[in-house]
Each structure stands twice: as structure tokens, then as C-alpha cells.
Amino acid sequence: MTANGGTHGAIVIGAGVAGLTAAAELAERGIATALVDDGFLGGLITNVGKLEGVEGEAESGPDLVNTLLERALVAGADYRMGAVTALQQDGALWHLPEQEAAGPAIIFATGAALKQLGVPGETELAGRGVSQCAFCDGGLYRDKDVLVVGGGDAAFQEALHLAEHCASVTVAIRGPAPRARVDFVERIRAHSNVHVRTGIDVRAIIGTEGVDAIRLHDQASGSEKDHPIAAVFPFIGLTPQTALAPPEAKRNADGALTVGATMQTTLPGLYAIGAARADHGGAIADAVADAVAAAQAIAS
């Protein structure tokens, strides 16, 4: 619907890179588009203080989000903020009752949430030494020893940032080798204060008022040892945010929605892009490509 009522041609749920791009692409094609954001504008990308390999003038995640939002608004997207807890289908229309929005096409650009370790001490010490934003909190641990958990791009990018502030950064990887991009791994190796350990499991985070130590299990030796540190930064993967989608929409084992080449799910008129869809590449360029594909399909 437009701001004054009626029905939209498409509704985009989520205002991260994928959602903002999709809204802009649709609106620029003359399709009345509602862009609904029920949470944190920009999503996880806003935690990135320095973008890697992204064309354009945006240097940080927040810069990119502001640029994309402006593009969507200038194109005429109807941007709405508010809770989205219900999705209904009535014939050929999809409805968001809380937003009084309806349309024949709906795009899930709901992104994903960072996974938690699920170990003792993690919840209790969240915000007091357990953080999932090195760019937000890294400066709090200047000249201290910290630990990053994870072997992918996000973990290594956060470790690179922390290396500029902290006395030492240990990267604990459960698997046998890093999964991060080769250039990230090479840059990590160039830092003398960063140490990568593979075959390591986190068993507990220890502390009262803040993090004092972390208990690590060495898979090779079978030993467990407490290591004094000031902070833990877990980056072990993502959980797709797709609970709002109808249960009959096909998902993969992680809960991401299965899509075809046009980004349409197994339900007509329901699309999924970015981290909400199965087999998403994970890069900003992948999110943009998904958004363009969905917009083109809906416009045609």
C-alpha cells in the first residue's frame, strides 16, 4: 500500500544491504514498494567499521547503509519502521497486518543473527567482555589480551581490527584450518600479536564482573586449560531469520529459505534474498545480486 492506503506492488521485509537494494531497484522500476524494518536499520553490516572490496565511496558499514537508504527513499520506496510478527496470505496477496501493508510479492531480506557459542558464562557476561562487535568494543580492550572464536571472514576481519588495539589476539578455530579469504589469512599472519590456533573448542567463559579467562579444549591432546583474557569475540556463523515465513516454504538444514534463480521460494510470490536464502554467498556483492534478481523477476 502507499502511505495513504491501497496495495503495494511489492513488500520488502528487512533493511540491510539486500533489502535496501531490493527496495530501490523495485521503486526505480516504477513498482509501489513498501520497505519494512522491524529492528536495527542496516543489520549486521553496521558493525563493520571498514569495508573490504566494496566499490563506491562508502568506507564503513553505516556509510553504505545511509547511501542505500537514501537511494531507496529518493526512488519512492515507502519506508516503515515497526514490529513484524505476522504474515498472512489471502489469495494472491501477502499481508503484514501490523503495517497494514499488502502486495502480491513479498521479499524476505530479514538477514541472519550471529550464532552464540552456547557455553557457560557467555550469556552472563554479554556486554561485559563478551562481544560480537570488535569495531564497537575493541577500543575498550586496548593493550589487553583478547580472543576471537571462528575461522571465517568475519572472525578474521574482526581479529585484524583488534590487532590494532590489543596487546595480543588469539584466534581459536574449531576446524583444522581457517575458512577465511586468503588475503585475510595472509594479513593476519603479518601481525606478530595475532596467534591462530586450530582444533580448539571453547568450553566456558570465566568471570564475575567481567571476563577473566576462557577454558579451551585442545582436540589433539584432549587437554583443557584456562587462559587469562579480557574479552571474547565469537564469530562462528549465522542463523537465518526466517521464522516469519510460512512453514510450508522449503528451507535447508540451517533454516534458510530455498530459492530458484529468480530468488522465488517454493511459494509463489514469496522471495528470499541475502542471508535469508539458502546458498547465499555471504559477500555484499552477493546480497546486491540477489536483490537485483528478485526485483527483475517481480518487475517482469
* pLDDT value at 71 more than 50: yes
> pLDDT tens-digit profile of 199-257?
999 999 999 999 999 999 999 999 999 999 999 999 999 999 999 999 999 999 999 99
CATH superfamily of 134-234: FAD/NAD(P)-binding domain (3.50.50.60)
* pLDDT value at 85 more than 70: yes
What string of DSSP letters covers 204-257? EEEESSSEEEEEEEETTT--EEEEE-SEEEE---EEE--TTS-TTS-B-TTSPB
* pLDDT value at 5 more than 50: no
**Percentage of residues of the chain with pLDDT beyond 70:** 96
Q: How far apart are CA 84 and CA 82, in angstroms?
A: 6
* pLDDT value at 69 more than 60: yes
Q: How far apart are CA 269 and CA 290, in angstroms?
A: 15
Q: Would the CATH topology of 10-114+238-299 be identical to that of 134-234?
A: yes
What confidence tier does 53 reach under pLDDT thresholds 50, 70, 90?
A: low
Beta strands in the chain (DSSP E): 10-13, 33-37, 78-81, 88-90, 93-96, 101-103, 106-108, 112-114, 145-149, 168-173, 194-198, 200-207, 211-218, 224-228, 231-234, 238-240, 270-272
What confidence tier does 55 reach under pLDDT thresholds 50, 70, 90?
A: low
Q: What confidence score (pLDDT) does residue 2 get?
A: 40
Count Cα atoms within 13 angstroms, Cβ side, for 87: 21
What confidence tier does 83 reach under pLDDT thresholds 50, 70, 90?
A: confident
Beta bridge partners of 226: 215
Q: Which triple of cell numbers denotes residue 238?
A: 549465522
Q: Which of 127, 178, 176 is nearest to 155 (CA)?
A: 178
For the chain, domain boundaries: 10-114+238-299, 134-234
* pLDDT value at 116 more than 80: yes
Q: What confidence score (pLDDT) does residue 62 get?
A: 87
Query: Per CATH, the architecture of 10-114+238-299 is what?
Result: 3-Layer(bba) Sandwich (3.50)
**Ranges 48-62, 106-120, 270-284: which has the least confidence:** 48-62
Report CA torsion sign: 141, 142, 143, 145: positive
What confidence tier does 57 reach under pLDDT thresholds 50, 70, 90?
A: low
Q: What confidence score (pLDDT) does residue 1 get?
A: 34
What is the 3-state composition of the chain as percent helix, strand, coil, each rounded to the nearest 5?
25, 30, 45
Average pLDDT over residues 45-72: 82
Q: How far apart are CA 210 and CA 133, in angstroms?
A: 16
Average pLDDT over residues 281-296: 94
Q: What confidence score (pLDDT) does residue 252 get?
A: 97
What confidence tier does 4 reach under pLDDT thresholds 50, 70, 90?
A: very low
Average pLDDT of the chain to the nearest whole number: 93
* pLDDT value at 41 more than 90: no
What confidence tier does 38 reach under pLDDT thresholds 50, 70, 90?
A: confident
> pLDDT tens-digit profile of 119-134?
999 999 999 999 999 9
* pLDDT value at 40 more than 90: no
Q: What confidence score (pLDDT) does residue 196 get?
A: 97
* pLDDT value at 32 more than 80: yes
> What length does the chain have?
300
Task: State the DSSP code for 199.
Answer: S
Average pLDDT over residues 21-34: 97
* pLDDT value at 11 more than 50: yes
